């Protein structure tokens, strides 16, 4: 078997893995990033689109992206819609911060470009089979390249940034599923359509027929979702039926319609790994935790993990100081569980659970009113949605 030697082996070229590699490279810490997908697949897969202000500032200040400022759209609020009325949550007035609409695959294009421009090691089409010797000073990733060649990547540290179906997780928790789970009895039906925006900001709508999110991509392309059964076949709806579903879930407003050119069903769940660190292997991003998309926390939480692990690895690899690494899990988990709570809360407040009773329904409207009619309620939502300050281990 061929062996490659590096300081940090990073499994997964998503936002977490690529951003960590970028920050490490700025401290002259060499890494190898692998991903089983092709560059094209990574750069074109449609994911969520909301970045917290802290995420944007870090992408910019670290030199990872300039387009994130010039090509994103700042949103200073969202609308919560229920019982036929829209209620604006004014982020700017409440917390002096905003969020930015900039799709995840654009972030990935930027991170891949900066990695390749710097001449750093990034390998597509390489599958991580397993991690060996996690608890030694020489952990290794056993990989298979697209032509079947086996390559061992030997490192001082291994990072599992390989998403919700993580292979790395087994080396940290002892199993692929080792974590705290919550399943939801619904999924999102997502569409991309060619139409002008239906509103200036995102609309999160609760209706008797279920939840809908009216998001955007550009002046001509819109992204929308509606709550559906997890077993739904994305092809089972005609375009007309999709518009009927969407319109029925935003009572009191009318959406601009247009041709739907992409559709998908997104199942979601809440998950937090039992452990984030074992020996010289750490988990970050979706490998460590998955949140339902309602709070728009996914990619932002991954970046918050990266900020902490970057600090811990600099101390470990440049100064032989393990203290920050020892503090990593506890600090990361505090934010992870806050984000889990927020994402669960937004999800349960806005969706209609199958079999919900009249009591459940009326209580839910009471909850929504408690939020929009209270400045404290609105402020909590604004603080969490725009993102808590990025913390440091020191």
Catalytic residues: 75, 204, 293, 297, 385
Helices vs strands, H then E, count in the chain: 12, 21
| Distance of alpha carbon 354 from alpha carbon 262, whole angstroms | 26
Of the pair 268, 328, the CB lying nearest ligand PHB is at: 268
- Measured from the CB of residue 240, what is the shortest distance to ligand PHB in angstroms? 23
- Measured from the CB of residue 294, what is the shortest distance to ligand PHB in angstroms? 5
Neighbour-count burial of 2, counting CB atoms closer than 10 A to its CB (0-12 exposed, 13-18 middle, 19+ buried): exposed
Q: Which stretch binds ligand PHB (CB under 6 A): 48-56, 115-123, 312-320, 354-362?
A: 48-56
Site string for ligand PHB, 187-206 (x = CB under 6 A): ---------------x----
Q: What is the 3-state composition of the chain as percent helix, strand, coil, each rounded to the nearest 5? A: 40, 30, 30
Of the pair 198, 329, the CB lying nearest ligand PHB is at: 198
Strand partners, 80: 87, 204
- Measured from the CB of residue 146, what is the shortest distance to ligand PHB in angstroms? 30
Q: By Cβ distance, which residue is nearest to ligand PHB?
A: 215
SS3 323: helix
351 contacts ligand PHB (rule: CB under 6 A): no
- Measured from the CB of residue 215, what is the shortest distance to ligand PHB in angstroms? 3
| Distance of alpha carbon 212 from alpha carbon 202, whole angstroms | 10
Site string for ligand PHB, 222-251 (x = CB under 6 A): -x----------------------------
Neighbour-count burial of 240, counting CB atoms closer than 10 A to its CB (0-12 exposed, 13-18 middle, 19+ buried): exposed
Spell out the residues 6+ positions from residue 363 whose beta carbon is closer than 8 angstroms to its own. Answer: none
98 contacts ligand PHB (rule: CB under 6 A): no
215 contacts ligand PHB (rule: CB under 6 A): yes
Site string for ligand PHB, 285-324 (x = CB under 6 A): --------xx-x----------------------------
Of the pair 49, 285, the CB lying nearest ligand PHB is at: 49
Choose, by CB under 6 A, the member of 19, 33, 50, 112 that binds ligand PHB. Answer: 50
Strands 150-154 and 2-5: parallel
**Judged by CB under 6 A, how many residues of this single chain contact ligand PHB?**
10
Of the pair 10, 213, the CB lying nearest ligand PHB is at: 213
| Distance of alpha carbon 159 from alpha carbon 155, whole angstroms | 10
DSSP letter assigned to residue 257: P
| Distance of alpha carbon 105 from alpha carbon 112, whole angstroms | 10
Strand-by-strand arrangement of the 121-124 sheet: 121-124, 31-35, 8-11, 157-160, 281-283, 277-278
Choose, by CB under 6 A, the member of 11, 23, 24, 48 that binds ligand PHB. Answer: 48
Of the pair 277, 302, the CB lying nearest ligand PHB is at: 302
- Measured from the CB of residue 224, what is the shortest distance to ligand PHB in angstroms? 9
- Measured from the CB of residue 92, what is the shortest distance to ligand PHB in angstroms? 18
């Amino acid at each position: 078997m061929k062996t490659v030697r590096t300081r940090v082996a990073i499994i997964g070229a998503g936002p977490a893995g690529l951003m960590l590699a970028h920050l490490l490279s700025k401290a002259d810490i060499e890494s190898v990033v692998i991903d089983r997908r092709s560059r094209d697949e990574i750069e074109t897969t449609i994911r969520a689109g909301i970045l917290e202000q802290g995420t944007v500032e870090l992408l910019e200040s670290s030199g990872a992206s300039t387009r994130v400022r010039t090509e994103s759209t700042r949103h200073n609020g969202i609308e919560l819609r229920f019982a036929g009325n829209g209620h604006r949550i004014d982020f700017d007035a409440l917390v002096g911060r905003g969020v930015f609409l900039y799709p995840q695959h654009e972030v990935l294009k930027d991170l891949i470009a900066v990695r390749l421009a710097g001449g750093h090691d990034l390998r597509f089409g390489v599958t991580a089979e397993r991690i060996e010797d996690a608890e030694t000073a020489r952990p290794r990733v056993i990989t298979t390249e697209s032509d079947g060649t086996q390559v061992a990547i030997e490192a001082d540290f291994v990072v599992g940034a390989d998403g919700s179906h993580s292979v790395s997780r087994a080396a940290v928790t002892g199993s692929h599923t080792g974590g705290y789970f919550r399943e939801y009895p619904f999924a999102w039906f997502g569409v991309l359509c060619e139409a002008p925006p239906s509103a200036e900001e995102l609309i999160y709508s609760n209706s008797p027929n279920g939840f809908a999110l009216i998001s955007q991509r550009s002046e001509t392309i819109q992204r929308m979702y509606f709550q559906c059964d997890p077993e739904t076949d994305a092809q089972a709806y005609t375009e007309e039926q999709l518009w009927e579903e969407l319109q029925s879930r935003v009572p009191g407003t009318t959406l601009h319609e247009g041709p739907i050119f992409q559709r998908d069903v997104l199942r979601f769940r809440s998950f937090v790994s039992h452990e984030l660190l074992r020996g010289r292997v750490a988990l970050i991003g979706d490998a460590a935790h998955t949140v339902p998309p309602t709070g728009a926390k996914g990619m932002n939480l991954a970046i918050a993990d990266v900020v902490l692990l970057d600090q811990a690895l600099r101390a470990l690899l440049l100064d032989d100081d393990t203290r920050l690494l020892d503090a990593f899990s506890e600090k990361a988990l505090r934010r992870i569980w806050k984000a889990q709570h927020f994402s669960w809360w937004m999800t349960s407040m806005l969706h209609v659970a199958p079999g919900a009773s009249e009591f459940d329904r009326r209580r839910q409207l009471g909850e929504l009113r408690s939020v929009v009619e209270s400045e404290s309620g609105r402020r909590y939502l604004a603080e969490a949605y725009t993102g808590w300050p990025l913390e440091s281990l020191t």
